[in-house]
Amino acid sequence: MLATLPLPELLDAFSSSAPTPGGGSAAAVSGALGASLLAMVAGLPKTKTNTPEERAALDEARARLLALRATLLDLVDRDAAAYDLVVAAFKQPKGTDEEKAARKAAIQEAMRVAAEVPLETMRTCAEALAAGRAVAEHGNASAASDVGVATVTLTSAMQGAMFNVTTNLDSITDQAVTDRIVTAVKEIVSAPLQSILLSPMVRGLMESSTRRLGFAHGHPPDSRSVQPEAFATPAAELLGRIGTPEAREALESLARSPLTAIASAARGALDRFEPRRES
C-alpha cells in the first residue's frame, strides 16, 4: 500500500522509472497533506477569539477534514490500481472477433475507472477547501501561514487531478459516460467550493506578502496567483475538448460568471468549440 509507506520510500516510488505511482496518486497525496494542515489548525487549543461557537465550528471542520484525508489516502492507491487496470485491458488477447470485442469493452471500462478516480480526488479536494473555510474564519491567526500552505496545496492537487480527468476522457467513446463525468466536473468547478481563497485570513496573508516582498498577490513574478479564477482556463479547455452538448451547456453557464477571468475563459472556449463527432 503506497499510503502506508514511510515518506522516503514513497518518494522513491514516485521517482522510480515505474509508471505508477504517477500524477494522479501525487495529486491525492498533496490533497491529503493540505487537508491534514487544515485539520491541525482546527485542532489548536486557541481559536480566533476563543468563543464556544468557534470551538464547535472548528471541531466539526476538523472531523470533516480528517475524514476527507482518509479518502484521499485511499485514492493514492486507487489511482495506481486504475492505471494497472488500463494496462491489463490493453494486454488482453485480440486474435478473434470475440476477443477483440471483449478487449475493447475492457479498455473502455478501465478508462472509465481511470477518469472517475481522479474526478473523486478533485471532488474531495474541493470539499476540503470548503471545509477549510471555517478554519480560515475561526482559526488562530498565528497559524495563517499554515492555512495558506494548505490552501495552495489543495488547490494544486485539485487542478492536478483535473489534468488526469482530461487525459483519460480523451479515450472514452461512450458519450453517456463522458456526459456524466462532464456534469460532475461542471458541478465542481462552478460551485463556490474555493471560498477559503476569499477568506480574510488567506487574503490577508497574500496582502502581507505583497507589502513585505513586493510580489503581486503575494506570489513571485511570473507565477500564477492562486485564485478561484486559476481553474478557469483548464476547466474551459477540458469542456471545449470534450465537445458534447453538455460541455457546451457548462461553458455557457461559466460564461455568465461574475468573475471576469472565468467568464472570459469560457467565452474563448465557446469560440473554439468543436462538436464531438460520433464514432
Give pLDDT tens digits for 258-278: 566 677 878 888 888 877 665
pLDDT at 221: 45
> What are the tens digits of pLDDT across the range 91-105?
999 999 999 999 999
The mean per-residue pLDDT over the stretch 37-42 comes to 97
Confidence grade of residue 195 (pLDDT, cut at 50, 70, 90): low
pLDDT at 226: 44
Instruction: Looking at the structure, give the CATH architecture of the domain made up of residues 20-222.
Output: Up-down Bundle (1.20)
The mean per-residue pLDDT over the stretch 142-168 comes to 90
> What are the tens digits of pLDDT across the range 220-261?
444 444 454 555 666 677 777 677 777 787 778 777 765 666
More confident residue, 275 or 143: 143
The mean per-residue pLDDT over the stretch 121-132 comes to 93
CA 215 to CA 31: how far, in whole Å? Answer: 26
Statement: residue 52 has pLDDT above 80: yes
Confidence grade of residue 216 (pLDDT, cut at 50, 70, 90): low
The mean per-residue pLDDT over the stretch 147-166 comes to 90
CA 3 to CA 130: how far, in whole Å? Answer: 24
pLDDT at 94: 93
DSSP 142: G
Cβ(139)–Cβ(47) under 8 Å? Answer: yes
Statement: residue 114 has pLDDT above 70: yes
- pTM for the whole structure: 0.77
Q: How confident is the prediction for the chain on average, in pLDDT?
A: 85
What DSSP letter does each residue of 225-256 carry, written as one string?
--SGGGGHHHHHHHHHHH--HHHHHHHHHHTT
Q: Any idea where the domains of the chain sit in the sequence? A: 20-222, 227-273
Provide the grid cell at 144: 495563517
Confidence grade of residue 194 (pLDDT, cut at 50, 70, 90): low
Radius of gyration of the chain from its Cα atoms, rounded to whole angstroms = 20
pLDDT at 62: 98
pLDDT at 223: 41
